[in-house]
Amino acid sequence: MLSHDRYCSEILRQTELLRGALGEGADASVTVPTCPEWTLGQLLLHVGQAHRMATTLVREQVKEFVPPAGAGHGVPTPAPGQPSADDLPALTAWLAEGAEALVAVLREAGTDSPVWTFSEDQRSAFWARRMTHETLMHRADALGALGLPFTAEPETAADCLDEWLDILTFPAAVAFKPRLAELPGPGRTVHLHATDTPAELNAEWFIDLTGEGVTWRRAHEKAAVAVRGPVTDVLSVLFRRLPADTDRIEVLGDRGLLDFWLERAVF
């Protein structure tokens, strides 16, 4: 994991990188290929709403929270006082305001302020990490819609992979996405290997599906299928932002198992 201060800085950085990609001529109505039901403007609206939801949870130390019906699904729509999904200049400014407010609340709260989360970690630290990677991966979505390349700093990308694998182990994850229960089975192991990171980052993952659920560890171990490539590309494949048949990664072993994993390990 990164430090709390680093997560706070990354929320601001990833938001600014996202805003910076929305240059002159960007079209809020363009379809986002990796979120095909959404336009670019709706994607930006979703990111700003996520920031504001986390801000409220942490600031008010909410202990019990029931996500709205369909949360995470459907087309984002503006709440009263929020910009229209077709007003790109207003959305861009609104994103900055939301990220700054979130970071101010997170820095004041520190890591241990009690708050509802969908994990066993009921602390404000959870939301600092979650909003960092929420912003990072939706930046990837926006860049894809704009036809621009996506890259991520290796340490942040590796932590994003860690967090994703952590989420897949949460009991609440299976309740929310029952197909995750189909993942375990005999001989089902996956190895991820980032080929462009410094050795001290130890950017290799072993995912073990042979037990009752998903377990994982940072390790170099033989698996039924291995995915090798630059860390941003490995991350993008695992998050289904890049097709597994891209020539930017190498797949060794049971390709069917990788496809099986990617079809189910999704929210």
Which pLDDT value is given to residue 70?
Answer: 45
Which pLDDT value is given to residue 67?
Answer: 64
**Domain ranges for the chain:** 4-150, 155-264
Which pLDDT value is given to residue 221?
Answer: 97
Q: Which residues have a Cβ under 8 Å from the Cβ of 162 and sit 6 or more positions away?
A: 1, 205, 218
Which pLDDT value is given to residue 171?
Answer: 86
Within 181-262, strands assigned E span 189-194, 204-208, 215-218, 225-229, 250-253
Q: Which amino acid belongs to residue 190?
A: V
CB neighbours (10 Å) of residue 261? 21
Which pLDDT value is given to residue 69?
Answer: 47
Evaluate whether the domain defined by 155-264 bears CATH number 3.30.1050.10: yes
Question: Is residue 118 a contact partner of residue 64, using CB atoms and an 8 Å limit?
Answer: no
The CATH code belonging to domain 4-150 is 1.20.120
pTM: 0.95
Phi, psi at 137, each rounded to 5° = -75, -30
In tens digits, the chain (267 residues) has pLDDT values of 999 999 999 999 999 999 999 987 899 999 999 999 999 999 999 999 999 999 999 999 999 876 654 455 689 999 999 999 999 999 999 999 999 999 999 999 999 999 999 999 999 999 999 999 999 999 999 999 999 999 999 999 999 999 999 999 998 888 889 999 999 999 999 999 999 999 999 999 999 999 999 999 999 999 999 999 999 999 999 999 999 999 999 999 999 999 999 999 987
